[in-house]
């Protein structure tokens, strides 16, 4: 769910992705139980249901199949499926673009005047 922008070296990207995952996990754990339980069930379904379509869980899918699966859920006729992706995506993007390594990389990108922003 994270964008390829800005370009980060592999080690930095891996570290940022790990930090974002931890942030999302902490946010889920901080929810009240009456919200946390259905969210966990939804995440379990999201992660395991690709086995029926691709023969493997979400974690083991190729990048193309991951994108397809996310898009399928993003546009599903079942509102909780769409809402789950929206919640995880928005929380992930907030953590991603607020990460010090990503902000540092963005700070070095020239604005439309040719100067770093």
- List pLDDT tens digits, range 22-54: 999 999 999 999 999 999 999 999 999 999 999
Please tell me the pTM assigned to this model: 0.82
Whether residue 70 has pLDDT greater than 70: yes
Report the alpha-carbon distance of residue 53 to residue 104 in Å, rounded: 39
CA angle 19, 24, 27 (to 5 degrees): 125
pLDDT at 8: 95
**Region for 44 from its dihedrals, namely left if φ exceeds 0, alpha if ψ lies in -120 to 50, beta otherwise:** alpha
Segment 43-71 mean pLDDT: 97
Whether residue 88 has pLDDT greater than 90: yes
Segment 92-108 mean pLDDT: 95
Q: Where are the domains of the chain?
A: 38-95
Split at pLDDT 50, 70, 90, the class of 112 is low
Q: How far apart are the first and last CA of the chain?
A: 25
pLDDT at 108: 84
Whether residue 114 has pLDDT greater than 80: no
SS3 assignment, position 85: helix
Assigned token pair, 32: 């009240």
Assigned token pair, 42: 């939804």
- Lowest-confidence pick of 1-10, 57-66, 92-101: 1-10
Report the alpha-carbon distance of residue 71 to residue 85 in Å, rounded: 9
Report the alpha-carbon distance of residue 2 to residue 70 in Å, rounded: 12
């Amino acid at each position: 769910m994270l964008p390829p922008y800005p370009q980060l070296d592999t080690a930095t990207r891996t570290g940022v992705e790990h930090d974002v995952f931890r942030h999302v996990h902490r946010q889920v754990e901080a929810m009240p139980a009456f919200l946390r339980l259905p969210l966990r069930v939804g995440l379990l379904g999201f992660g395991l249901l690709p086995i029926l379509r691709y023969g493997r869980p979400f974690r083991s899918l190729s990048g193309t199949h991951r994108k397809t699966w996310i898009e399928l859920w993003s546009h599903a006729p079942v509102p909780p499926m769409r809402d789950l992706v929206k919640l995880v995506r928005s929380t992930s993007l907030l953590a991603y673009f607020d990460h010090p390594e990503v902000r540092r990389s963005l700070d070095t990108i020239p604005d439309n005047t040719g100067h770093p922003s």
